Amino acid sequence: MAAMISPSPAKPAGTPAAPPCTFVIFGASGDLTGRLLTPALYHLQREGLLDAGFEILGVDRVENNDEGFRKTLGEALHTLGADAERGIDEAAWGQLAANIHYLTGDFADPSTYQGLAAHLDQRQRATGASNAVFYLAVAPRFFAPIAAALSTAGLLDESDTAFRRLIVEKPFGTDLASAQDLNAKLLAVATEKQIYRIDHYLGKETVQNIMAFRFGNGMFEPIWNRDHIECVQITAAETVGVERRGRFYDGTGALRDMVPNHLFQLLSMVAMEAPNSFDADAVRTEKAKVVEAVRDLTPEDAAKVVVRGQYDAGTVLGKPRAAYRQEPDVAPDSRTETFVAMKLAIDNWRWSGVPFYLRTGKSLAVRRTEIAIQFKKAPAVLFRDAVNAPMPNLLVISIQPDEGISLRFAAKVPGREMRLGQVEMDFRYAEHFKAEPQTGYETLIYDCLTGDPTLFQRADNIEAGWFEVQQIQRLWGGLTTPPDLYPAGSDGPACADELLARDGYAWLPLT
């Protein structure tokens, strides 16, 4: 018997349920649906945030039916992730499962969209609900064709009483030209307010808390500038290798996979100016300004401030890991980077002269995403005779896996002499708020259902990110030398350490 679970604290009193809607998942048989979307929708159901008129409609070429699709999603929910360990609220799952349906169809076949239109028409006649969200959990090559087919079938047409929205997963393009092309094709069939470009990093509580932390505390925002901050580090480290995605990853690499989206989103949240409100366009405009203010790199600049690495054989979390070039579906002479680190400058008044260091990689020592703010050292005059000189204060915002914030500062070590030691104050979401497991998609799906695009990327923001890395892509495209190797399970290649050492800094260790 499943464990009984108390009501989730994620829904404050008065939070309204999303309006009734048909949530259409293209690519419903894929890993994303079972591993992330189903748990997220289950959490929203359990929190009372889905209307009784909410339904899920899976669409895929894989032969299936309503009963089989419900069974597949139920098995995924009961076997994957933290919920399976804690126990499933069977009543909540039963309510969600009762409204799960399936449509077998090829994405390129017009009859698929005719069947979808018939389903939506029948539902409107039966319940009066005609809202629909189309989630493109498919390979990027299907984004534009599916959107065009939906438009041709009239399924993106809105009315005063019904919305139609499109959620697009990453990668959103592979370079500036492809991102611009995709934006043009989507905007030819839908308005910007209908398009929700999703990045699950922005659904994490700690990422959203950056704005609350900065702009809601009078002690931090006055020192959040070049006068007090020495440098900023943004790290997105993964322990996983390429898993079963060798063919995709070998044509993509760490730069395209992580930098223009995940890392630039974190960069913009940390460096943005205060918006005049929490209106979606006000927030997204300030974020876009940060990316636009990043100093453009020439190929010559990129060669000096951007480094790349590729994992070699090693040990990750106590288990042997083959070299990247020995992974399935990876070319034996591949020059694809699995690690990238860079130094960026933001040319505006607040951040002039402050270096921003970004790094991301696979098969590293730990899984960790964090932002480290290193403040300038206090004058050491008073402590010139002390045993230890003051170290810089350090503020670390942990995004995953342990969401929280820590602050390092100096304190006197007990004893007869003046000796300074470093102490930390830690805040952890799970401990303070008794937070329950979340996938990161709950907030984003709820926001889409309620029409709040604040945490989704706008077309100009996407293109600005690709613009900033295009010179790096051009430089690397002309190189014949392979990336620097680093042992799997390490902190990355030595060239990344040298990048900071030249400026007198060091990365926060991963181990």
Give dist(CA 234, CA 103) in Å, integer.
42
Q: Is residue 43 part of an annotated ligand binding site? A: no
Q: Is residue 204 part of an annotated ligand binding site? A: yes
Q: Residue 133 burial (CB < 10 Å; 0-12/13-18/19+)?
A: buried
Q: Is residue 200 part of an annotated ligand binding site? A: yes
The answer to whether the CB of 396 falls within 8 A of the CB of 374 is no
Q: Is residue 119 part of an annotated ligand binding site? A: no
Closest residue by Cα to residue 10 from 50, 56, 52 = 50
**Three-state SS letters, 425-493:** EEEEHHHHCCCCCCCCCHHHHHHHHHCCCCCCECHHHHHHHHHHHHHHHHHHHCCCCCCEEEECCECCC
Give dist(CA 290, CA 294) in Å, integer.
7
Give dist(CA 101, CA 56) in Å, integer.
6
Among 119, 228, 262, 432, which one carries the catalytic annotation?
262
Structure tokens that stand for 230 in this block: 């020495």
Contacts with 52 (C-beta within 8 Å, 6 or more apart), sequence order = 20
Q: Is residue 339 part of an annotated ligand binding site? A: no
List, in sequence order, every residue forming a beta bridge with 486; answer none if it has no partner. Answer: 311
Beta-strand (E) ranges in 124-266? 132-136, 164-168, 195-197, 229-237
DSSP assignment of 361-428, as one string?
ESSBSS-EEEEEEEEPPPP-GGGTTSSSPPPPPEEEEEEESS-EEEEEEEEEPSSSS--EEEEEEEEE
List, in sequence order, every residue forming a beta bridge with 300; answer none if it has no partner. Answer: none
Q: Quick check: helix, strand or coil at residue 166?
A: strand
Is residue 101 flagged as an active site residue?
A: no
Give dist(CA 493, CA 155) in Å, integer.
49
C-alpha distances in Å from residue 291, one per residue of 261, 277, 399:
11, 20, 20
Q: Quick check: helix, strand or coil at residue 143?
A: helix
If you search the block for the tokens 């002479």, which residue do you land on? 333
Q: Quick check: helix, strand or coil at residue 11?
A: coil
Q: Is residue 26 part of an annotated ligand binding site? A: no
Q: Is residue 35 part of an annotated ligand binding site? A: no
Binding residues for substrate: 200, 204, 238, 257, 362
Residue numbers in the known binding site for NADP(+) are 61, 106-107, 170
Q: Which amino acids are annotated catalytic? A: 262
Q: Which residues are annotated as a binding site?
A: 61, 106-107, 170, 200, 204, 238, 257, 362
